[in-house]
Amino acid sequence: MFTEQWAKTRFPADVSAIPAEFQPPSALHQRVTLINGELVPFEGDYQPVLSPVCMPDAEGQYRQVILGSYPIGTEAEAFLALDAAVNAYQDGRGAWPVMPVAQRITHVEDFTFRMLARKKEVVNLLMWEIGKSAADSEREFDRTVEYIYATIDALKELDNKSSRFIAAQGILGQVRRAPLGVVLCMGPFNYPLNETFTTLIPALIMGNTVLFKPPKYGTLLFHPLLEAFRDAFPPGVVNTVYGRGATVVPSLMETGKIDALALIGSSRVASELKKKHPKVNRLRAVLSLDAKNAAIVLPDADLDIAVQECLSGSLSFNGQRCTAIKIIFVHADIAAAFTAKFTEAVNLLKIGMPWEKGVNITPLPVQDKPAYLTGLIEDAVARGAQVLNQAAGGGQGFETLVAPAVVYPVNTSMRLYHEEQFGPVVPIVSFTDFEDPIQYQIQAPHGMQISIFGTDPDQIASLIDPLVNLVCRVNINCQCQRGPDIFPFTGRKDSAEGTLSVDTALRAFSIRTMVAAKLTEANKELLNKILHGNKSGFLNTHYIF
């Protein structure tokens, strides 16, 4: 049972209680930013970095472990970074945007090699900064590397297909993809490495120059990679921006020098930032935003499968995923059986520290999140719901650690029905009319994914047809998820703009452009001289192996 006294035993009494391989990193006080190929000293204010892991101080008060600090940059530093990116792009004439694709791939491979050499540091910082389990932190790093290599392979295939000429109606042309310009990349705290790189890497490899602002939580883990960025890419191709997002980012957008915005975060922030750009029609936006994905459990569902998939879907990394199942609709005929089985499974989840083997629920990095979750639960209870696992401590918290709560029956009057909780609270709704979950999706401001659990092909088909026009992925008897990375990842309404996957991301950060000529003997001879003399990086018929 989760109590304050029990929760204290989950946190380490001191560093000696932490296994040697998972010791907190030495205090890392970042005093540099990456601008124009140099690690520039920063002498301004700094933001302390607190781990979600707490330990008792000399007076027995539990305090978050201090990991270090990073620069609170101002507009001045942000504009220096912007100028560096603009100058490196040089209106499309810079060394990076005109560089042949094969050479850009070599630079990205070099960066990946350097990144792999810092794996241990990055993984440990990832674990300590956001409280992700050691196993999941390592998986995030490995998946990111796999994504980079998959991106390289996809670009080779794309470029090889584009290496041929097309002849039509007396015109000869070669169509390729060219970069957009300067890209501002902003990633999320929950997958700070992986999801940031799913925009940053394709933006880079397509020839754009990049401004990269790390997330508020999960900033220091990028410090070991700054030298890799500096050494692997030409000056100005990758530049970092630090500081209060509400201060520096709007100012960057107002310059009109940002050609593409890659943001994984909230729709409110995305909307405000786009409005700051003086030429919105010129801005390419690649956005992965809010989501409150639902699961629908039908009367004939296999309960074991539904419970296991909903459990993992709703509570992996404490439910802090945009693709998490954040509300479950269960048919009234099986609601009692499902909730009993699901609650039992939730109570078996291991609550503890990120380095513990098999841990499921870990401390939360966002400092006001426990209080916010408590408010959601209290509102639901006041309006008729119950915390089904209250006896086991569901919904109780101590400092940054919150026990997962199963809340039932939830209805439309409750905040938990509408708000994206992004934490270990699982609302369950009972329904008899199959129109109810469809109406939920119609009324919701989000439209990312949904999961359906059942075995009746007619019933499932009747749900698939309307739902595919409301969300962008319908999962059958499995949880909502992003991968595999070759699948399109997008959403409707406030959930996304643009599509991310390995190959579509390359298209998202580029534009089709072509060279064309009348099909005459003189032009054929001219083009052959350009091709055979390797005179153009764009116009070529090279095959990249």
Q: What is the pLDDT of residues 213-258, one digit of tens each?
A: 999 999 999 999 999 999 999 999 999 999 999 999 999 999 999 9
Q: Please provide residue 216's backbone torsions phi and psi, each rounded to the nearest 5 degrees.
A: -60, -40
Is the CB of residue 104 less than 8 Å from the CB of residue 96?
yes
SS3 441: helix
pLDDT of residue 445: 97
pTM: 0.96
Average pLDDT value for residue range 189-195: 96
The mean per-residue pLDDT over the stretch 460-472 comes to: 97
The answer to whether residues 502 and 154 touch, using CB atoms and an 8 Å cutoff, is yes
Mean pLDDT of all residues in 399-415 = 98
Indicate the helix (H) or strand (E) that contains 123: helix 119-130
- Residues 6 or more apart from 381 whose CB is under 8 A from it? 387, 407
Give the DSSP H or E segment for 56: strand 46-56
CA distance 202 to 108: 10
- Mean pLDDT over 62-69 rounds to 97
Helices 332-347 + 303-315 axis angle, to 10: 60
**Distance from C-alpha of 310 to C-alpha of 316, rounded to nearest angstrom:** 10
Answer yes or no: are the C-beta atoms of 260 and 509 closer than 8 Å.
yes
Model pLDDT, residue 2: 86
Measured CA to CA, the distance from residue 287 to residue 379 in angstroms comes to: 31
What integer is the mean pLDDT of 387-414?
A: 97
Residues 84-113: what's their mean pLDDT? 97
Measure Cα distances from 331 to 336, 418, 435, 438 in Å.
10, 19, 12, 13
Bridge partners (DSSP) of residue 2 are none
pLDDT, one tens digit per residue, over 320-379 is 999 999 999 999 999 999 999 999 999 999 999 999 999 999 999 998 999 999 999 999
Per the listing, tokens 């940002």 go with: 258
Q: What was the pLDDT predicted at 140?
A: 98
Q: What is the pLDDT of residue 1?
A: 72
pLDDT at 101 over 90: yes
What mean pLDDT comes out for the span 89-113?
97
**CB–CB of 127/22 below 8 Å?**
yes
Place of tokens 């996304």: 496
Q: Is the peptide bond before 214 cis (omega within 30 degrees of 0)?
A: no
Report the chain's mean pLDDT, rounded to a whole number: 96
